[in-house]
Structure 1
Amino acid sequence: MVQFTQAFAAALLATSAVAHPGGNVNKEILRRQAHLDHPERRSVQSCKRDLVSSGWVREQHIRREARLHELRVAAGFAKPGDLVRRNVADVEEEYGANAACTLDPEATEGPYWVTGELIRQDVLNGEKGAITHLDINVIDTSGCKPVTDAFVELWGTNATGVYTGVQAKGNGDGSASSLPSNALRGIQATGANGTASFITLIPGHYVGRTNHLHTIIHHGAKKLENNTIQGGTISHVGQFYVEQNFLGQVEKTSPYSTNHQAVTTNAQDMLYNMAKQGGDDPNLKISLIGNKIEDGLYATIDVGVNPRARQNPQPVNMWTKDGGKPVPGSPWAGYPDTCLYCGFRPPGVIRRAFGFE
């Protein structure tokens, strides 16, 4: 497994690259280094033998093929008896060669996390774009089994690169117009196969970042009567991406083509480059439902977690019946000008370890 070297980390630290407009990714670079150096780090690849022998890989392959076929039939692009399956043995052989894995957070929660989101599969709320049926499989890499009792939280921008439920400079026109909406934000429980399913969009780009979705994995949370969750712990804070060539095709479709913010490609995005280190692959695996992107997409990704890990991401807002409301004392408050998390200076011991002192 390729290691994320201190030299590479130092180079990234020296760039003072931004995670979002006005933000600094130095803290995330050091988090990623710590993750890759962790003595207990295990990937999905390390679980390949167990997942194959238990039949999980075979079952997931059959389920995913059936789900894509179901979507194609529903959209009128296939007939019920048209399904042709790929050789399962080939799938088992290839499994885990490149798969998302994490023990510590892969990336920051960013300044736009809104806590208190609803448990729901369809998070579109009328937003237009490349509609994506997304299956996220969560795997316990400490026991090499699917995680069947977690809540997966997902959020991203709309097609023109704007987050709902928040107000900040650089988030669209910086107005409060998106505060009343919770579009493209939601939570789903993992099922018996470890899968959480959403209907969302391929997110748009905005200044300083390539297109990406955010995710948080919750364990032991309680479902409340208002269809939200409370309590528990968080094992993973991560981001999902889209392969660049396909992303370029998406950006040519409407309404993505109306987004005139400066483009940052995957190769130019420091957090994407970090996510690719250590043998991980943060890209969604995407299939067309029909003949073109506008016909809809089916996407999957496997995420390895250690359910005993404890992360402490900080939301900027909380979702309420009146829209997004500030979380008192949030370190993201005032982003990107005056927030506690706007910038980061590594502690002296870290600076010395990376040769800055």
Structure 2
Amino acid sequence: MDDNTSVAPSSPVYLLSPEQIAGPFFRNPKLIRRNISESADGIPLVLRLAIVDAMTGQPVTGALVDIWHCNARGVYSGWSKLDPDKDVDAADIGSIPRTDDDTYLRGGQFTDKKGIVRFTTVYPGFYAGRALHIHVAVRITSGNNFLEERHVAWVGQLYFPEVASRSVLNTREYGGRSIASLPNHEDFYFRHQGGDASTLTVHTLGRDSNEDGFFGHTTIGIDTFAASTHIKPEDFGQYTV
């Protein structure tokens, strides 16, 4: 090679984050908001997600990121009357009839110029048959406007380090259950679809007590041209102003 020949540095490329099922408790409350807690009891959780194009390593700007998860007792809004201590034999979205119109612990945000969204919520609890997790869906829009055409590019789930979860589950809001929580390595979807690649990095917000809350973050690598098979655009329905 000629000594004067320069080689352009390669762009950082991220691995595609593993997709996972949307689960039976998906619904679209059509809420664009950062704080999704609606005063739900539980240990505070500040969540930061960075969305990057796995092909180029560049941030994905203007994407609509929806998250949803259960409360400290293992209950999802929309299904508040179901018993979280009993197994639910369903995986398809919308496969379980809703019991109410509550919207706690659900909402969406647009990624900023760095591809980042931030949510204020509570640390999720657990329900029968699953480890602690948060659901995420990423929609590609034609601009920073949720009324414009879009497609769902990625659907996944995020898990928590066992050490952090154990300290949370020992607090008052999460205790007194008739069943024990399922560890990550015993969760079917963690083992077969997500694993460590879907585990959040978690830090405490305060020095003195875990009850001050946690900060969780991760980077999600997606194919912006892909169309997820787990949630279709029509599953979100039409937004209205």
- Residue aligning to 1:22: none
- Residue aligning to 2:11: 50
Amino acid at match of 2:162: Q
Give CA-to-partner distance per residue, 1:149-189, whole Å, 9 cap, x none: 20110000000000002367545799x99623100000000
- How far did 1:319 drift? 9.2
Unpaired runs of 5+ residues, structure 1, are: 1-48, 53-95, 321-357
Q: 1:117 to 1:172 in 2, by over 3 A?
A: farther
- Residue aligning to 2:197: 281
Amino acid at match of 1:101: L
- Decide which of 175, 184, 190 is 1:272's aligned counterpart: 190
Q: 1:260 to 1:293 in 2, by over 3 A?
A: farther
- Residue aligning to 2:26: 113
The residue matched to 1:146 in structure 2 has which SS?
Answer: coil
More helix by share: 1
Give CA-to-partner distance per residue, 1:257-308, whole Å, 9 cap, x none: 133334211111011112455xx52111111111222112111110000000
Q: How many residues in Structure 1 have an aligned counterpart in Structure 2?
A: 219
For the 8 Å contact 1:124–1:201, the answer to whether it is kept is: yes
Q: 1:183 to 1:161 in 2, by over 3 A?
A: same
Partners of 1:248 and 1:289 in 2: how far apart?
A: 16
For the 8 Å contact 2:203–2:215, the answer to whether it is kept is: yes
Q: Please show how residues 82-161 of structure 1 align to structure 2 within 5 Å.
A: 101-102=16-17, 106-161=19-74
Q: 1:218 to 1:260 in 2, by over 3 A?
A: same
TM-score of the aligned structures, taking structure 2 as reference length: 0.79
**Is the aligned partner of 1:293 residue 2:232?**
no
Q: 1:281 to 1:255 in 2, by over 3 A?
A: same
For the 8 Å contact 1:250–1:256, the answer to whether it is kept is: yes
Partners of 1:271 and 1:219 in 2: how far apart?
A: 25
Q: Please show how residues 302-341 of structure 1 align to structure 2 within 5 Å.
A: 302-314=219-231
The residue matched to 1:248 in structure 2 has which SS?
Answer: helix
For the 8 Å contact 1:214–1:239, the answer to whether it is kept is: yes
Q: 1:179 to 1:222 in 2, by over 3 A?
A: farther
- How far did 1:144 drift? 1.2
The residue matched to 2:131 in structure 1 has which SS?
Answer: coil
Give CA-to-partner distance per residue, 1:94-133, whole Å, 9 cap, x none: xx7xxx732xx62100011102430000000010111111
- Percent identical across equivalent pairs? 26
For the 8 Å contact 1:114–1:319, the answer to whether it is kept is: no
The residue matched to 1:249 in structure 2 has which SS?
Answer: helix
Q: 1:272 to 1:185 in 2, by over 3 A?
A: same
Give CA-to-partner distance per residue, 1:27-69, whole Å, 9 cap, x none: xxxxxxxxxxxxxxxxxxxxxx6349xxxxxxxxxxxxxxxxx
The residue matched to 1:271 in structure 2 has which SS?
Answer: helix
- Residue aligning to 1:244: 162
Partners of 1:200 and 1:299 in 2: how far apart?
A: 11
Q: 1:167 to 1:251 in 2, by over 3 A?
A: closer
The residue matched to 2:191 in structure 1 has which SS?
Answer: helix
TM-score of the aligned structures, taking structure 1 as reference length: 0.55
Q: 1:223 to 1:172 in 2, by over 3 A?
A: farther
Q: CA RMSD in A?
A: 3.1
- Residue aligning to 2:174: 256
